[in-house]
Amino acid sequence: MKSVIKKERKMLDVSVVMPCRNEEAAVAGCIKSAKQFIEDNDLKGEIIVVDNASADASARIAKAEGARVIRVYKPGYGRTLRAGIRASRGRIIIMGDCDTTYDFKEAIRLYRPMNEDKYDMMIGDRFKGGIKRGAMPMSHKIGVRLLSLIGRIRFKTDIRDFHCGLRGLTGEAAARLKFKTTGMEFASEMIGVAVKKELRIGQTPVTLSKVRVKRKSKLHAVRDGLRHLRYIVNYR
């Protein structure tokens, strides 16, 4: 089985993984954006939509747009992304939220340094790249900056934006990392585990845009913030 996985990874340059829960209004546009990234850069790639128990037409729309759909029935951002990473066949894995806040054409900024073997993992930086008006409430900006500061101190790293939804890692790095979390704290775990394994982590500016479709936000600022804080403080 290992030899098959390695062969498949060599066949595909990139896997774009999108966690998806009730995003029927957004998923088609996000897939088209990811396809544009792949086509513009002459890559061999796949788009994986990990449907997390959606009650709407997200999975059907994703299939119709040509994405490979994987279903995860227990809720959880981390659980969903972990399933997508396991299913990926690309040498490089790009992860991005399926809610129109990110332009997947910017994923080349993450892909290129990993493809050139400069880094094993890349994290987007929304604060350097730009947060458009209305894209993030002030309370979230403060919370993300504070948690990122605590994370930098705790993990002894220089990552500025611990919770950016556009990030990536190589297939080889994914095989080395053992993830355990199931919720939003997965974003912090990715960095903590990578630092512990002494992986090369880079960061690049990316733009956060206001959601362009009508949808219900999945974020719970206080609960999710506490989950991140608990993970960072208790990490061993």
Which residues span the domain enclosing 93?
2-234
pLDDT in tens, 74-114: 999 999 999 999 999 999 999 999 999 999 999 999 999 99
The total of other beta-carbon atoms located within 10 Å of residue 228's CB is 27
Residue 231's pLDDT is what? 83
Tell whether the model's pLDDT for residue 227 goes beyond 80.
no
Residue 201 phi/psi, 5-degree rounding, is -115, 125
pLDDT given for residue 226 in this prediction: 72
The whole-angstrom separation of Cα 146 and Cα 156 is 15
The total number of residues shown for the chain amounts to: 236
pLDDT tens digits along 35-77: 999 999 999 999 999 999 999 999 999 999 999 999 999 999 9
* pLDDT score for 1: 41
CA distances from 103 to 22, 33, 106, 212, 229 (A): 19, 6, 6, 11, 28
Confidence of residue 235 (pLDDT cuts 50, 70, 90): confident
What pLDDT is recorded for position 233? 78
Count: domains in the chain: 1
Reported as a pLDDT band with limits 50, 70 and 90, residue 187 is very high
For all residues of the chain together, what is the average pLDDT?
92
Q: Is the pTM of this model over 0.75?
A: yes
* Contact indicator for 169, 65 with CB cutoff of 8 Å: no
What is the band of 12 on the pLDDT scale with cuts at 50, 70, 90? Answer: very high
Buried b or exposed e, range 91-101, using 16+ CB within 10 angstroms: bbbbbbbbbbb
125-172 pLDDT, tens digit per residue, is 999 999 999 999 898 899 999 999 999 999 999 999 999 999 999 999
Dihedral angle, C-alpha 9, 170, 78, 105, nearest 10 °? -90
Which tokens sit at 32? 């088209």
Report how far residue 91's alpha carbon sits from residue 175's, in angstroms, rounded to the nearest whole number. 11
> pLDDT value at position 146?
94
pLDDT attached to residue 82:
97
Alpha-carbon distance 129 to 123, whole Å?
12
39-53 residues labelled b (16+ CB within 10 A) or e (exposed) = eebebebbbbbbbbe
CATH number of the domain within which 154 lies: 3.90.550.10
